[in-house]
A and B are shown apart, each in its own frame.
Chain A
Amino acid sequence: AQKITQTQPGMFVQEKEAVTLDCTYDTSDPSYGLFWYKQPSSGEMIFLIYQGSYDQQNATEGRYSLNFQKARKSANLVISASQLGDSAMYFCAMREGGTSYDKVIFGPGTSLSVIP
């Protein structure tokens, strides 16, 4: 069963506008972590932001914020003031497990294109 869903295969946003990339997840583990990564055309995976399941506040990192709605199992990424360099694939990911193993599962990704 797919555990990470990203329903937007591709998105366009005007430069300087804000954009929200959707992510829903499924887990029965009460302790988990959620990540967003950016992958430009060069292929490197760049960490953007992290949210732990017990974190009370939504995570923020510069222009990135994570809209964490635990009851809805939703972890949307909000990018404010989009820049041309934000054009890339964006992956939502979830870490499950505790001391016995570590597994991070990635969603299918959303391709974001920023239009000048």
Chain B
Amino acid sequence: KAGVTQTPRYLIKTRGQQVTLSCSPISGHRSVSWYQQTPGQGLQFLFEYFSETQRNKGNFPGRFSGRQFSNSRSEMNVSTLELGDSALYLCASSATSGRVNTGELFFGEGSRLTVL
């Protein structure tokens, strides 16, 4: 069974640009979450999607957005990049029983974004 796949693994952008990151969850998982990890702030919850709907959002500015497709794949977008957006962006998927997430989060290897 394939794990969570994130692309790209590494990318470099300049301030003001935008970036789109992709996440393919484990087959059958309908919930996808995104996290930002930085040395200073640790792991911070960005948002969670279930069946193409954003169910919850963390405390991030509107420059951070996401979406989920009918096949459960998810993308997140960061517009007008700032130096502070440099981070490891982790995607995770969860199994569900009905609408309730069960068990652990399965993480991808992350997308490491550097903003110059």
CA distance A14 to B36 in the complex (A): 32
Q: How many residues of A contact B (CB 8 A)?
A: 23
Count A-B pairs with CB separation below 8 Å.
Answer: 59
Contact A50 B107 (CB under 8 A): no
Q: A99-B98, A100-B55, A108-B42 are in contact. Are A44 and B31 (CB under 8 A)?
A: no
Contacts of A98 in B (CB 8 A): 100
Residues on A with beta carbons closer than 8 Å to the beta carbon of B31: 102
Contact B50 A102 (CB under 8 A): yes
26 A-B interface contacts by CB (under 8 A): A35-B104, A35-B105, A43-B110, A44-B109, A45-B105, A45-B107, A50-B103, A95-B101, A97-B101, A99-B100, A100-B55, A100-B99, A102-B33, A102-B50, A102-B55, A102-B101, A103-B45, A103-B56, A104-B92, A105-B45, A106-B35, A106-B42, A106-B43, A106-B45, A107-B42, A108-B42
Known A44-B109, A45-B107, A50-B103: A104·B33 in contact at CB below 8 Å: yes
Q: Give the interface residue-count category, chain B.
A: 20 to 34
Shortest CB distance B32–A (Å): 10
Bound complex: CA of A99 vs CA of B100, how far in Å?
5
A102 to B94, CA, bound (A): 10
How far is it, in angstroms, between the C-alpha of A12 and the C-alpha of B64 when the chains are bound?
38
**B88 CB-CB contact with A under 8 Å:** yes
Closest to A103 in B: B56
Q: Contacting A43 at CB < 8 Å: which of B56, B88, B99, B106?
A: B88
Complex interface bits, A83-99 against B, C-beta within 8 A gives 1, otherwise 0: 00000000101010111
Q: Are B109 and A101 in contact (CB under 8 A)?
A: no
